[in-house]
Structures are given as structure tokens and as C-alpha cells.
Structure 1
Amino acid sequence: MLLTASVVNECGYCTAAHSTVAKGMLKVPAAVVAAVRSQQPLADAKLNALVNLTRELVLARGRVATATIESFLNAGYRNDQIGEVIIGVALKTMSNYTHHLSPVEIDSAFKAEA
């Protein structure tokens, strides 16, 4: 979710940082990270529903289509988890916008994913 929001908000620093953490600490397969970064569908239907909801929340500024919410819930998520995604998007949007307004150089630990 954090990577998706950073990609959609076009924040290079956060995209690089979340890609590094996802592949390193969280052991997310590189193909999944690449798909999220290139905004391609994911093979995992549940994860794809999360990515789609996150992307639409950012792009539509919270005005998510009923079909997107239904897909999220039908994938196995609970209604209260929509609120958790909103909180994540809000957090990432603040940090993404902060970087846009006050950009910093990407840390060496994240440069490989820049």
C-alpha cells in the first residue's frame, strides 16, 4: 500500500525506499515490486485488490468506485480495513508531498531502487 501510494504520487525517494524495504526486509518477490512500480496487475488476487483500492484512493482523492470496494471486500478484506488503507494513504501522501516540496537526495541504501 505504501509503495503503491508513493508510485501514484510520483515520489522517487519513497518509491525507492519502499521497494528496498519490500524486497529486503519483507522478502516481497522482485516481480511483485516491479509490477506495483509499473502499475501492472498482480497475480495474487487479494494483493491486487489492495493495490487497486490504494491506487484509486490516491487518483480519485477518496472517491472510490463501489466496484473497487466490492472487489476489495470480495478478495477477503474486512470493511474496517478500508479505513486502515485510508490512514496509510494519508500518511504516505503527507510524506510524498513533503518530499516534493523539500526534496532530499536518495540515501545510498535506496539508490539501487531509484
Structure 2
Amino acid sequence: MPGGRSSRFRPGDHRGDLVAVSRGLPTAAQVEAFLAAGFTETDILQVLLAASVKTISNYTNHLFHTPVDKVFARRTWAD
């Protein structure tokens, strides 16, 4: 997105790990770095919500064996 939030990220930038790698318990320094990059506390909540929706989707698909769409079939792996 030209001029959008994604322009603040560079290859190798791991601010997106704020929720995933810290398992929901980022350090004060991680939060400060995220905010210092120009993001807000609302952005932190949006990252958390995105991770939550993805987790619920994955669990649902695993529990109910949702078939993968043909267009994505080549990206699957064996259990």
C-alpha cells in the first residue's frame, strides 16, 4: 500500500511478531518499539484480532476437515 501502514515495514522487520512470537505477552520494550514505529494501541488490538480470527479458522477447519479449495490444493501438506 503506497503511503499506507505497510510502508513502515521493511524486509526482516519483525514487529508483526508482537502477538505471535510473544504468545500474547509482549515485553514493554516490544510494545514501545511498535508504538514508536508510528502504530497505535488500536493497531495492537487489530493485530491481536487478526491472529485470533486466523486461529479460530484453523481450528475449525481442522476439527471439521474442511476441504481445501482447488486453487490452493498445491499448497497443502500431509499430516
Per-residue deviation, residues 47-89 of structure 1 (Å, max 9, x unmatched):
x31x2113235xx2x2222222122222221121111111112
Instruction: Give unmatched runs, 5+ long, in structure 2.
Output: 1-9
In structure 1, the residue matched to 2:5 is none
Q: Could you report, residue by residue, the CA deviation over 1:18-42 in whole angstroms, capped at 9, with x for unpaired residues?
A: xxxxxxxxxxxxxxxxxxxxxxxx6
Q: Which has the higher helix share?
A: 1
RCO higher in 1 or 2 (8 Å CA, sep ≥ 6)? Answer: 1
Residue 44 (structure 1) shift: 5.5
> Which is higher, the Rg of structure 1 or of structure 2?
2
What runs of 5+ residues in structure 1 fail to find an aligned partner? 1-41
Q: Percent identity?
A: 30
The question of whether the paired residues in 1 share the 8 Å contact of 2:20 and 2:51 is answered with: no
Take 1:95 and 1:70, find their aligned partners in 2: how far apart are those partners? Answer: 30
Matches within 5 A, 1:10-25: none
- Structure 1 Cα separation of the partners of residues 19 and 69 of structure 2: 26
Runs of 4+ in structure 1 displaced over 3 angstroms?
Answer: none
Q: Matched residue pairs, number? A: 68
Aligned Cα root-mean-square deviation (Å)? 2.4
Q: Distance in 2 between matches of 1:63 and 1:54?
A: 7
TM-score by length of 1: 0.48
Q: Does 1:43 align with 2:11?
A: yes
Q: Calculate the TM-score normalised by the size of structure 2.
A: 0.64
Query: Aligned partners of 1:98 and 1:108: how far apart in 2?
Result: 19
